[in-house]
């Protein structure tokens, strides 16, 4: 009788354990398993207090600059922080540009400043100082060009305005506002009297 009861009790005791195990496996199949996000790509190396010199296609210096840090990655791209740049033509400063960040795409010589970007230079028609504010600005040291498709604001003593998009060639000293240009001109007091 002991063996008969033993053969009957052991399967009855194992039955709830098997049911619990089956339930656990079923829950694992129906549940979403959260995986950790891929870690952010770490730079291959970082430069601190970096001095930048870029040359144009003719070998002339097209810009000097400083960056607080520049991180370079395995794909040969980079990310710079707190930049100050002087855009040059024939060793003369034409524009002084500051930005909190820059994206340096891999396998390209041009790079994008990310804002707020401030460019201080001069109007090409009268030489008056002008400050340009935008959220992003591409700089191409080979072609001596800056451009953006973002909104820009321009501030100077005799004219202020805004536009969407800008293109400038600092060697040729051109400045073109592209779309939705709005400008307010101010006359000097002695000009108004005449």
Nearest to 158 by CA among 194, 179, 183: 183
Under a CB-based contact definition with an 8 Å cutoff, are residues 87 and 73 in contact?
A: no
CA 80 – CA 72 distance, rounded (Å): 9
Give a yes or no: residue 27 inside a domain.
no
Summarize pLDDT for 1-25 with one digit per residue, the tens.
566 666 666 666 666 776 666 666 6
Please report the pLDDT score of residue 24 as a whole number.
Answer: 67
Under a CB-based contact definition with an 8 Å cutoff, are residues 116 and 127 in contact?
A: no
Mean pLDDT of 64-76: 93
Q: Which residues of 91-125 are buried (b: 16+ CB within 10 A; e: fewer)?
A: eeebbebbbebbebeeeebbbbbbbebbbebeebe
Total structural domains within the chain = 1
Summarize pLDDT for 102-148 with one digit per residue, the tens.
999 999 889 999 989 999 998 888 889 999 999 999 999 888 899 99
> Dihedral of CA 120/126/128/134: which sign?
negative
CATH number of the domain to which 114 belongs: 2.60.450.10
Under a CB-based contact definition with an 8 Å cutoff, are residues 24 and 30 in contact?
A: no
Give the single-character DSSP code of 170. Answer: T
Q: How far is CA 104 from the centre of its chain?
A: 8
Give a yes or no: residue 77 inside a domain.
yes
Give a yes or no: residue 73 inside a domain.
yes
> Dihedral of CA 146/147/153/158: which sign?
positive
Please report the pLDDT score of residue 165 as a whole number.
Answer: 96
Please report the pLDDT score of residue 12 as a whole number.
Answer: 64
Give a yes or no: residue 157 inside a domain.
yes
Give a yes or no: residue 120 inside a domain.
yes
Residue 13 has which token pair?
Answer: 């005791």
Residue 56 structural domain: 45-185
Please report the pLDDT score of residue 115 as a whole number.
Answer: 84
Give a yes or no: residue 128 inside a domain.
yes
Give a yes or no: residue 72 inside a domain.
yes
- For the question of whether the overall pTM of this predicted structure is more than 0.75, the answer is no
156 CB-near residues (< 8 Å, 6+ apart)? 123, 128, 129, 130, 131
Give a yes or no: residue 171 inside a domain.
yes
């Amino acid at each position: 009788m002991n063996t008969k009861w033993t053969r009957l009790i052991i399967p009855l005791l194992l039955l709830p354990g098997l049911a619990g195990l089956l339930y656990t496996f079923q829950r694992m199949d129906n549940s979403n398993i959260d995986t950790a996000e891929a870690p952010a790509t770490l730079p291959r190396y970082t430069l601190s207090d970096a001095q930048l010199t870029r040359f144009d296609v003719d070998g002339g210096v097209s810009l000097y600059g400083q960056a607080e840090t520049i991180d370079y990655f395995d794909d040969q791209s980079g990310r710079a922080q707190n930049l100050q740049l002087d855009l040059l033509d024939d060793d003369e400063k034409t524009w002084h540009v500051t930005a909190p960040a820059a994206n340096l795409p891999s396998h390209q010589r041009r790079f994008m400043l990310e804002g707020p970007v401030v460019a201080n230079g001069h109007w090409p028609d009268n030489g008056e100082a002008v400050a340009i504010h935008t959220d992003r600005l591409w700089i191409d040291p080979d072609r001596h060009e800056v451009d953006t498709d973002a909104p820009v604001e321009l501030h100077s003593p005799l004219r202020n305005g805004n536009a969407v998009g800008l293109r400038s060639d600092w060697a040729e000293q051109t400045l073109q506002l592209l779309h939705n240009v709005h400008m307010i001109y101010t006359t000097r007091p002695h000009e108004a009297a005449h």
